[in-house]
Structure 1
Amino acid sequence: MRRVIVLGSTGSVGTQALDVIRANPRRFEVVGLSAGSNRVELERQAAQFGVDDLALGADEAEQLVRDVEADVVLNGITGSVGLGPTLAALEAGRTLALANKESLIVGGELVTAAAQPGQIVPVDSEHSAIAQALRCGDRAEVRRLVLTASGGPFRGRSRASLAQVTPAEALAHPTWDMGRMITTNSATLVNKGLEVIEAHLLFAVPYDDIEVVVHPQSIVHSMVEFVDGSTIAQASPPDMRLPISLGLDWPNRVGGVGRPLDWSAAASWSFEPLDHAAFPAIALAKRVGTAGRTYPAVFNAANEQAVDAFHEGRLSFLGIVDTVTRVVEEHEAPEQLTRETLADAERWARDAAERVIAAGGRWRAGQPQP
């Protein structure tokens, strides 16, 4: 029986994790739950699973992780506010089932330095696929990682054709049902850029050896290419309960969490190269990931601010990544990466993004740095 704390339990990942746990009562026990602000749903979940230890907000979630004995902490919090709970789980020696990619990306070396080998188990479908494929060979035998992207709702569109995209169009993802921020990030491919940084930090593979390929069917979740020319792919119908279940009991598989592919039915899978001119976010993400320190935090915070402005009608769709690019280029990172310098950099990035947006996308030089 694995004792599990679910952070972000009222969100998409959290509710699906509880589905997996509910279906396997002899395998998992919920010992703690946290939500951002939905107290009513949190209390309903607590009553259903018999949980006494609850938290509202990221600070309370961090304390919950430190105070409650558990084998696994599933971090399904959205955004960089998940950094504190991520570090708390690692420092307490828990297995961290990580769906909160922002905490790893923003925390960078703070998170990787706190983690013991194998302590972080990825829950993103792409990184779970890579972790599964990596079991087929030694790390020294890996030539490159190949992350698949659905291409979002604008696959095949030119940059010029994206100028008038509306928020409703950006939220019409062809495969996944996600929240506003993640769905918009999938449309701009910022989400895939964040996943490239995450892959580098999780698997210690150089950025030059991490590629992105467009796979509209979202059946092959990612691949590992080995030095002998063999490529190992993980394939399954799109269902987050599969990587969640692996995160909860890695490396063991939990039966019955998802349906298998139907090999008796005809199907075609296609793969396409990425259009970097239309979707420059991935190249930008590799730049900020290589720069390290507070650059990924600035990238993420500026993007969150720009996405909100887009949905508020203050910024165009193309302006999202353009704004992030301008803010990243103006940033001057401090020498030391700490939780304090990260917080300062994020505040500066949000203010800088607002100045860019207010100026109609034109950067006003000489703005103060953190």
Structure 2
Amino acid sequence: MTVRRITLLGATGSIGRSTLDLVERNPEAFEIEALTANRSVTVLAEQARRFGARLAVVADPDCYSDLKEALQGSGIEAAAGADAVAEAARRPSDLVVAAIVGSAGLPPTLAAVERGAAVVLANKEALVCAGPLMVAAVARHGATLLPADSEHNAIFQVFEQEERAAIERIILTASGGPFRTFSREAMADVTPAQAVAHPNWDMGAKISVDSATMMNKGLELIEAHYLFALPEQQIEILVHPQSVIHSLVGYADGSVLAQLGVPDMRTPLAYCLSWPRRMSAPVDRLDLAGLGQLTFESPDEERFPPLRLAREALRTGGAAPAVLNAANEMAVAAFLEGRLGFLDIAAVAESVLAQQVPRAPASVAEVLEVDAQARVAAAETIRQRASA
């Protein structure tokens, strides 16, 4: 495999760290063009020095002087601000790993797409909030989307493009999160510490809470719709607590193809970084005999209403998915700060989704405007529920 230059958007998060672990283990295969972070200056500067990045960017302009000082004498260029993050995505590189959490990742991800890059997509909000815009831009600019989420990556590996007409369904698996067996009454009292303790995956706080509410799976359903151009009715969700089968594709002849592996994000990331080939990854090998059994359950939309909300948003179309995402981000933040109960997360999202029904955004600016409006509505809804 020839040397590939990588721009990593969101270098200090869990996806960023896993990506850099693979890069470090394969120095003959990869080089780093640019690294970005939100505010984690110390970690970003250490990463930039360690991997010989040409550019390091911090999204928060207030952190620029600290970053510049931390990189002094290294020869590494420093920059700050949202525009600088997007400019990093435009720099020449073979791969752009889009791992910025939330709607903030949309502009730089689209910037990478618009230069026709191969984008390792770990930011599901880019497709959730702006699916039609992203899909159109990919086609217009000849970009390649390589899904890094374990579920979408699994589908990508067994999705036979030349047999699209024979594909009947795709099945996204879900661990069920830490509260899979809890009643709604029990979930009413769970704490942020409990919610971020995922039974299988080591993830950031926000995505861990999304897994606990199963909003993560709802957003993945929306993402899968745009990634694989399948209608909502052909996308199923199956609870699989062991997180070994990462997703499946069902075909017209009755065959169901699945991708299996231990729950380690370095497996799908390695597939993306080396695509269309494969590379070695330092993950535990799957021992099915040791596991003994794999179990499956139907999802419960009564206990986990975000699954229903995501389907409703996708059917509504337009800006509804962006509204759902923004309201959820606000509600999760309030929950993590202790201002909102766990069950209130979905309630806030549902309330805002009912209030906000703007037309489909025609540009990134309109997507961000919808996002901002939904956040205002969510903040007010959170305030009302917190004071009730």
TM-score range normalised by the length of the shorter chain: over 0.9
> Match of 1:60, as an amino acid?
A
In structure 1, how many angstroms separate the alpha carbons of the residues matched to 2:118 and 2:282?
A: 21
Say yes or no: does 1:324 pair with 2:326. no
**Partner of residue 96, structure 2:** 73
Say yes or no: does 1:205 pair with 2:207. no
**Partner of residue 96, structure 1:** 119
Indicate the larger mover: 350-359 or 331-340.
331-340
**Partner of residue 67, structure 2:** none
Contact 1:76 1:99 in 2 (8 A): yes
**Partner of residue 347, structure 1:** 372
Please, which of 276, 282, 294 is the counterpart of residue 251 of structure 1? Answer: 276
Contact 1:221 1:234 in 2 (8 A): yes
Provide the identity percentage: 44
**Structure 1 gap segments, 5+ residues each:** 364-370
Decide whether aligned partners of structure 1 residues 346 and 118 sit closer, same or farther in structure 2, where only a CA change above 3 A counts: closer
Say yes or no: does 1:314 pair with 2:339. yes
Please, which of 167, 176, 183 is the counterpart of residue 151 of structure 1? Answer: 176
Please, which of 92, 96, 107 is the counterpart of residue 130 of structure 2? Answer: 107
Q: Deviations over 1:7-61 (max 9, x none)?
A: 1111110111011111112221111111111122111111111112121114321
Contact 1:108 1:292 in 2 (8 A): no
Contact 1:98 1:247 in 2 (8 A): no
Q: CA deviation at 1:361?
A: 7.6
Say yes or no: does 1:238 pair with 2:263. yes
Q: CA deviation at 1:336?
A: 4.2
Question: TM-score, normalized by length of structure 2?
Answer: 0.89
Please, which of 4, 8, 11 is the counterpart of residue 10 of structure 2? Answer: 8
SS of corresponding position for 2:151: helix
> Match of 1:25, as an amino acid?
P
Contact 1:4 1:30 in 2 (8 A): yes
After TM superposition, which residue ranges in structure 1, 4 or more long, deviate above 6 angstroms? none
Indicate the larger mover: 14-23 or 243-252.
243-252
Decide whether aligned partners of structure 1 residues 273 and 336 sit closer, same or farther in structure 2, where only a CA change above 3 A counts: closer
Indicate the larger mover: 171-180 or 182-191.
171-180
Q: CA deviation at 1:264?
A: 4.9
In structure 1, how many angstroms separate the alpha carbons of the residues matched to 2:360 and 2:286?
A: 49
> Match of 1:44, as an amino acid?
E
In structure 2, how many angstroms separate the alpha carbons of the residues matched to 1:30 and 1:241?
A: 17
Counterparts of 1:1-370 in structure 2, within 5 Å, are 1-57=3-59, 58-66=82-90, 68-116=91-139, 119-135=144-160, 138-265=163-290, 267-360=292-385
Q: Deviations over 1:96-150 (max 9, x none)?
A: 0000111121111111111036700000000000000113861111110100000
In structure 1, how many angstroms separate the alpha carbons of the residues matched to 2:161 and 2:129?
A: 30
- Once superposed, what is the RMSD of the aligned Cα atoms? 1.8
Decide whether aligned partners of structure 1 residues 45 and 361 sit closer, same or farther in structure 2, where only a CA change above 3 A counts: closer
In structure 1, how many angstroms separate the alpha carbons of the residues matched to 2:199 and 2:83?
A: 35
Q: CA deviation at 1:360?
A: 2.1
Contact 1:322 1:361 in 2 (8 A): no
Q: Deviations over 1:194-249 (max 9, x none)?
A: 00001001000110111111100000000001111111110000110111111112
In structure 1, how many angstroms separate the alpha carbons of the residues matched to 2:377 and 2:128?
A: 20
Decide whether aligned partners of structure 1 residues 221 and 137 sit closer, same or farther in structure 2, where only a CA change above 3 A counts: farther
Contact 1:108 1:293 in 2 (8 A): no
SS of corresponding position for 1:332: coil
Q: CA deviation at 1:342?
A: 1.5
Q: CA deviation at 1:311?
A: 2.1
In structure 2, how many angstroms separate the alpha carbons of the residues matched to 1:136 and 1:5?
A: 28
Decide whether aligned partners of structure 1 residues 187 and 96 sit closer, same or farther in structure 2, where only a CA change above 3 A counts: same
In structure 1, how many angstroms separate the alpha carbons of the residues matched to 2:113 and 2:357?
A: 29
In structure 1, how many angstroms separate the alpha carbons of the residues matched to 2:376 and 2:163?
A: 45
Question: TM-score, normalized by length of structure 1?
Answer: 0.94
**Structure 2 gap segments, 5+ residues each:** 60-81
Counting matched residue pairs gives 362
> Match of 1:355, as an amino acid?
E
